[in-house]
A and B are shown apart, each in its own frame.
Chain A
Amino acid sequence: MSHHALTIHQVQEKLRSREVSAVELAQSVLARIQATDERLHSYLTVCAEEALAQAEAADRTLANGPPPPLCGIPVALKDVILARGVRSTAGSKILEGFVPPYDATVTQRLKEAGAVIIGKVNCDEFAMGSSNENSAFFPCRNPWDTGRVPGGSSGGSAAAVAADQACAALGTDTGGSIRLPAAFCGIVGLKPTYGRVSRFGVVAYASSLDQVGPCTKDVWDCALLLEVIAGYDPHDSTSVNTPIPHYTTHLERGVSGLRIGLPQEYFIEGMQPEVETAVRAAIAHLQGLGAEIVPTSLPHTEYAVATYYIIAMAEASSNLARYDGVRYGYRAAEVKDLGELYQTTRAQGFGSEVKRRIALGTYVLSAGYYDAYYLKAQKVRTLIRQDFLNAFEACDMIATPVAPTTAFRLGEKLADPLTMYLSDILTIAVNLAGLPGLSLPCGFDQHGLPIGLQLIGRPFEEAVLLRAGYAYEQDHDWRSRKPPL
């Protein structure tokens, strides 16, 4: 098998035995990008030169051993995650020309772990979208069918990993933006607990919901990547100072005795039948391995999408006020005064979905509407979170589909924003409640499109999700099927 097609743990062995050099691995991945990206558009920036220099350094470390955990492993970053000296766009024209003078904490942790930053991958503008079609540059395509979307907003992260254009990637997840693309592209994606991973140096969308997480080829790789990026950071006051478990060493403990809750509200009418069948089969498999299946209920599920969009848009309108054309990024030419500079820069620099969310967010926060919309949504958020806490009294994790359907076609949901928002119907409540959620492949539909299983855990119990995902994965070889590229 070509080097670029291997998982991190497979290629790690070859690097450490010096069967493969880090430079050869980086070259293999770069060649793969070269050969496939014209069709996929996963990448916004490929860091060929820097990556090869980092790979050479990794080879020197490997020769002198013992190497750090990701030594020589090519990892891609969603373009909202800053890397020093590398153009960062967040998928937007308004950051034109912006080259960050510092690394995000997660980037720094990857580098300290020896990773090779191979490039910056495509996403919806400011991570706002469910299909990657809101990228200001070009939409990323689904490797399984290039007429379909990879999911969003971390579409480039998921497509790159699925197409072997990177060994792994980081994405961000505000309402499903890691888990949905992971499901649509047939890879593993994890949204960690709110506070588990630092967001310092990550372009903010909705700060009470955003989390950074891994996109990987299998569950073991996901556990390793989380181990590297997790932990307290004094630069992000929402990061939590609790011990980080050795996720990789707990993987083989199995699921015996684990209680898995099945919420009736997540198996909804209108769901693609093959999705329901595959997800129920995966749950039955976990039962066969010794897990106990318990019915459960999350009664406020139907209010999650409305709650999410009010809160996310409100926070976005505040976060995106900083893009004013003064200190960095795009600035409109030929303006009369400062007011016009702000307005014209923002009108020209932002795409239509971003402007829509800023405008709606401004509206729900404005005098006279604050209580009716924003405060109301924050109260319903309490009810949604309480649903999960109640459910977790009788179960250790919750299993659901990631999305009601497999990947949809480009353009299919563009005309109506509300239809697009409903793509996240099964992932959004997890962000509102701040919980960890794992998305992993559990089959294919009749068109050969991947289906995703979602496992939701108690706060800071990522280890339990990874354990269950690992147990399932040992008995299913979905990964041996490769996209037809």
Chain B
Amino acid sequence: MRITRDEVQQVAALARLSFTGEELDELTQHFDTILTYVDKLGELQTDRVEPTAHAVAVSAPLRDDVVTNTSSAAQTDALLANAPSRKTRFFRVPKIIE
């Protein structure tokens, strides 16, 4: 196996995911199949190859430092309307600091 069940569980925690025992068994199996398949890339010599992040060269565009979106109470309300839980004009979450 390329990866152990414990390692998969650690990765899941990093990604803020949780799995049942059965799901974890299956996922470990899938990790193994997929990682074995992608090991194929090791056949290629790439020491002198530059990595490609974007196929079309893109650079961060610059613009004048001026305000382009003025926020209004109506806009804030429109965004907050999607909140699963809110209190007045804030998103509400379980208590963080004891």
Contacts and interface: CB of A to CB of B under 8 A. Distances in A.
B54 A359 contact: no
B65 to A, nearest CB: 15
Interface in A287-338: 300, 302-303, 305-307, 309-310, 317, 321, 324-331, 335-338
Given A208-B53, A378-B51, A366 B34 contact: no
Interface of A is mostly: helix
B17 A347 contact: yes
Contact of A346 (B17, B53, B83): B17
A331 B44 contact: no
| Count class of interface residues, chain A | 35 or more
B16 A326 contact: no
A305 B33 CA distance: 14
Interface string B48-67: 01111111101011010000
Interface residues of B, number: 49
A385 interface: yes
B94 A336 contact: yes
A381 interface: yes
A416 B13 CA distance: 24
Interface string A90-105: 0000000111010000
Contacts of B94: 335-338, 340-341
A470 interface: no
B27 A97 contact: no
Contact of A355 (B17, B53, B56): B17
Given A329-B84, A331-B84, A380-B49, 20 more contacts: A97-B84, A98-B82, A99-B82, A101-B82, A234-B63, A237-B61, A302-B40, A305-B37, A321-B16, A326-B83, A328-B84, A337-B95, A340-B94, A343-B17, A355-B19, A358-B17, A359-B15, A359-B27, A378-B53, A381-B52
Interface of A: 97-99, 101, 193-195, 208, 234, 237-238, 240, 300, 302-303, 305-307, 309-310, 317, 321, 324-331, 335-344, 346-347, 350, 352, 355-356, 358-363, 366, 373, 375-383, 385, 416-418, 432-435, 459
